[in-house]
A and B are shown apart, each in its own frame.
Chain A
């Protein structure tokens, strides 16, 4: 059941343009941050050794030199040395290691 729901949501997302929806536009009108409404990812880098990504959809690739994370706004690629996932839950992922790049749509 859960699985079906997941697929349905994914299919809907694919069809839709990744641009702003009506709700998001409204949210912008009322100055509601994108990560509070919508599913925009929030990327927080703390120093050089820790990156926190909220509102992600899943990890696509996980190697010690590169981690690719799927979000609603495309794929975020984190590259570096000796990368590891400190913690992963439904809403957020904390990446540790020596980070050199955070790229979008890679």
Chain B
């Protein structure tokens, strides 16, 4: 019964009042003409109310004329009449259109990217590959080809064994399987020497293969052959054999850097003026709202993100981005000698650290200062380190 009511509601029906003497005749003619009537209630001697479908109501006119009854509509019910009301409302239509357009737009873009299964340090590499193709939050789903992206990832990111790209709803899932780096194969049929990579004082050495030419405690120069790949037999009759020299040569090395001491130091100071630039952020796109151009020559920028928080603690990638730019003034400050030396030493050390290889252990630091020409003072920083200076070089035949 509920289904019948629902169907009637969808099709639309009218509640009509029939007045006249021949209501029975009216009902009979209607039923003979396949006009469905329901809920007929006698109101008084010469009127009755009943329900009829819209189609039925249109066909009712001859029946009413024959039976001498008058029919008028009491109420229009159902979906067609409900919708008819919206037919003339332009604003409503426009709103409906905008709503559906926004809905379609919002489900057809990528809202989030999830990278699964790889080491955290590889994520920037993966993101770089995506950025090259302009794939990010906000790109259209239909333009993306998961297979192409996966192929590109495998080709362009090192140490990836397999990449799977999948679009699920508005999320882009990237699954990555790391590959294990193959060990460096040592070809035994080729002959290699171990040479010193830099000057140093050999502290200890472990030679696994090859003919050691130096001893512990010797000083070596850069490029000097430390372990030869030519194995000479004690018995000269057997001649020599070419091997791949292997070994670790731990040596003391020195790194040195000298800098003039400058008594003037430029300091960067915040003036206290802040310029705010406000952007509306939608996914990875920013639209400037207020702020205009920056009035400062030098500034430092701090970015604050204010995102809309959705239900269940979900952070939506929509919100405001505020760039706080602090004005900065460079000020020349006169330093005392001690301060100036400290600043110079610090810069010299930093420069040195950039030069040194990673596996090098600093054992000692020596700081010297001496006077140079024109009344300038110089400082010299020496790092004494221990490192493996073994480098491989093919033996030239």
Contact = CB atoms under 8 A, between A and B. Distances in A.
Nearest to B48: A62
Contacts of A17: none
A88 B27 contact: yes
Contacts of B381: none
Nearest to B1: A86
Interface string A10-43: 0000000000000000000000000000000000
Contact of B36 (A2, A64, A87): A87
Select the residue from A58, A59, A83, A85 with max chain B CB neighbours within 10 A.
Answer: A85
Nearest to B32: A90
Interface residues of A, number: 18
A59 B27 contact: yes
A60 interface: yes
Q: How large is the interface on B (under 10, 10 to 19, 20 to 34, 35 or more residues)?
A: 10 to 19
Contacts of B48: 62
A85 B31 CA distance: 12
B32 A6 contact: yes
Nearest to A57: B28
Nearest to A64: B42
A63 interface: yes
Interface in B24-46: 24, 27-28, 30-34, 36-42
Chain B contact surface mostly = mixed
A9 to B, nearest CB: 11
B39 A86 contact: yes
Given A6-B32, A90-B31, A85 B37 contact: yes
A89 B41 contact: no
19 contacts: A58-B28, A58-B32, A59-B24, A59-B27, A60-B24, A62-B23, A62-B27, A62-B40, A64-B41, A84-B40, A85-B38, A85-B40, A87-B36, A87-B37, A88-B31, A89-B31, A89-B36, A90-B31, A93-B31
Interface of B: 23-24, 27-28, 30-34, 36-42, 48, 50
